[in-house]
């Protein structure tokens, strides 16, 4: 990254997905000097289409991101930069300092963390060509698109039976290929699956059969083909919480960053939004949380000096104060 970065801003937004860009929009509307730093790996970019975004259903993820970025153009206080925030420290009293790409220091009065989560993908031959077309991880996001079709579920862990059951809302048939998960199923879970017509196939998924977008099944290590027009997988995902942890934010047991109703974390002056925070991991939710974080963050700056174009220091507003 060879771009000139501001030395000091009112708000640093880390992550430029739907959550971070929505926070930036509202910080811009409140005329707070805002820098969004984004490393460009938005979670759903491999998907052909994002579904269920009100008013934009469906929309290619890259198109939605381009529109969210374009929506910031009328706001002169907001700046986007490509890069990775590698360190962040400080507190609301002294201010925060972030390091971008290991070398650019940026001081910020507030921080919004919207770094999302990372997904663990199944180790299947041919996966990258199919991922987001006919291999998915989110029943809510792509279930409607597989209505009436045969679906194969892959995953490891005791959550797999419940995950597979969700797909009964749409699929004609659901089959689970156990991989490591089989051993984790309890007898009661197996009984419930059988009662609901979900077949459990013991085997290790090795490859995908059929052209991308025309999946015909999952090939097991022993050569058997389990038929299906779509695959859904459920493996653990990893919240990108390293910076939140560095700042001392409280996490829940899954590593999500705990927030209040205005997306304020346990650390005064630090907000978190999107998949990184607890809640449904969907574009529209990320945008809504980003909006809340942006407004709360912007209005928490009332009463202080701004590096943005906001005209006068207004009296502090207790409702959105930076600390609890
Ligand atoms: C394959 C797939 C399909 C999906 N389909 C749908 C769908 O149809 N409908 C739907 O509503 N949801 C869908 N989702 C979920 C949706 O992608 C997420 O809910 C949404 O992207 C969350 O937005 P976010 O801003 O929190 O995170 P992200 O969009 O993941 O953005 C986080 C950004 O932060 C950046 N970042 C991380 N760390 C740093 C750092 N240290 N410095 C700078 N930048 C950093 C990342 O590179 C990334 O650009 C899908 C997800 C996947 C994986």
Q: Which atom of ligand 1 is nearest to the CA of 15?
A: 34
6, two tokens = 């501001």
Task: Specify the pLDDT at position 236.
Answer: 76
φ, ψ for residue 145, nearest 5 deg: -70, -15
Q: Let me know the angle formed at the C-alpha of 197 by 195 and 199, rounded to the nearest 5 degrees.
A: 110
pLDDT band at 324 (very low <50, low <70, confident <90, very high): very low
The predicted pLDDT at position 98 comes to: 98
Decide: 84 in ligand 1 pocket, CB within 6 A.
Answer: yes
Q: What is the DSSP letter of 132?
A: T
d(CA 3, CA 18): 23
CATH 3.50.50.60 occupies which residues in the chain? Answer: 8-118+237-320, 121-234
Atom of ligand 1 nearest to the CA of 276: 26
Average pLDDT over all residues of the chain: 93
Distance (Å, whole) CA 119 – CA 72: 28
SS3 217: strand
The closest residue, in CA terms, to atom 38 on ligand 1 is: 115
Looking at ligand 1, which residue's alpha carbon is closest to its atom 2?
44
Handedness of CA 307, 308, 311, 316 (dihedral sign): negative
Lowest mean pLDDT among 112-116, 124-128, 247-251: 124-128
Q: With 50 as the cut, is the pLDDT of residue 65 above it?
A: yes
Class of domain 121-234: alpha beta
Q: How far is CA 289 from CA 101, 186, 191, 265, in A?
A: 26, 37, 39, 12
Q: Which CATH superfamily hosts domain 8-118+237-320?
A: FAD/NAD(P)-binding domain (3.50.50.60)
Report whether 96 contacts 89 (CB < 8 A).
yes
pLDDT digits (tens, 9 = 90+) for 72-91: 999 999 999 999 999 999 99
């Amino acid at each position: 990254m060879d771009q000139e970065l501001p030395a000091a801003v009112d708000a640093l937004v880390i992550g430029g997905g739907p959550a971070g860009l929505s926070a930036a929009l509202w910080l811009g509307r409140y005329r707070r000097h805002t820098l969004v730093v984004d490393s460009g790996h938005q979670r759903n970019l491999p998907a052909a289409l994002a579904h269920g975004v009100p008013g934009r259903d469906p929309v290619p993820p890259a198109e939605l991101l381009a529109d969210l970025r374009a929506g910031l153009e009328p706001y002169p206080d907001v700046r986007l930069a490509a890069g990775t925030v590698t360190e962040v420290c400080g507190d609301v009293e002294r201010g925060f300092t972030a390091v971008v790409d290991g070398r650019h220091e940026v001081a910020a009065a507030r921080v919004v963390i919207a770094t999302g989560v990372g997904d663990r993908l199944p180790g299947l031959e041919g996966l990258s060509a199919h991922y987001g077309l006919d291999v998915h991880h989110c029943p809510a996001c792509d279930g409607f698109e597989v209505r009436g079709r045969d679906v194969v579920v892959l995953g490891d862990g005791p959550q797999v039976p419940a995950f597979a059951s969700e797909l009964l809302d749409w699929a004609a048939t659901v089959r689970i290929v156990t991989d490591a998960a089989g051993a984790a199923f309890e007898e009661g879970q197996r009984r419930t699956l059988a009662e609901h017509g979900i077949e459990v196939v013991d085997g290790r998924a090795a490859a995908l059969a059929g052209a991308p977008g025309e999946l015909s099944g999952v090939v097991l290590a022993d050569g058997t083909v389990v038929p299906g027009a779509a695959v859904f997988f459920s493996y653990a995902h990893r919240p990108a919480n390293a910076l939140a942890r560095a700042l001392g934010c409280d996490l829940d047991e899954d590593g999500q960053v705990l927030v209040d109703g205005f997306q304020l974390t346990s650390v005064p002056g630090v907000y978190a939004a999107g998949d990184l925070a607890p809640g449904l991991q969907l574009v529209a939710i990320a945008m809504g949380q980003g909006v809340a974080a942006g407004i709360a963050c912007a209005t928490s700056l009332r009463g202080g000096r701004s590096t943005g174009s906001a005209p006068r220091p207004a009296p502090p507003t207790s409702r959105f104060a930076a600390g609890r």
